[in-house]
Amino acid sequence: MSGQHDHGHTPAAWTAVTIAFIGFCLGSYFTVVAQPWGVAASGVVLVLAAVVGLVMRAMGLGQQPAPARVAKPAVAAEPAPAVEPATPAAAG
């Protein structure tokens, strides 16, 4: 089952994560140097990462959707043949 999932090994995922990583690094830096405008700008970079990832996925560079699984119909058990109770033989 593990071979069926890609888990983000696509250009869209790598690009979005790389941009988000840069945004987090910038946000951390600007937090340490106490520059609120830089923290806000890094938030914009994080939103940009999400948008770029979604656009690249829409372009076909993301993971392909898994095929829909169709449930197999349950096999109905055939009823057991009716067994008539044994009757005493008619005395003749």
pLDDT at 62: 83
Max Cα–Cα distance, the chain, nearest Å:
114
| In the predicted structure, residue 61 carries a pLDDT above the cut 50 | yes
pTM of the model: 0.64
pLDDT at 82: 72
Where does the chain have alpha helices with state H? 11-32, 36-56
Q: Nearest-CA neighbor of 57 among 3, 23, 6, 2?
A: 6
* 29 is a domain residue: yes
Give residue-wise pLDDT tens across range 1-22.
455 565 678 899 999 999 999 9
Q: Nearest-CA neighbor of 47 among 24, 14, 67?
A: 24
Give residue 38's domain range: 12-59
* 17 is a domain residue: yes
Counting the structural domains of the chain, the total is 1
* 31 is a domain residue: yes
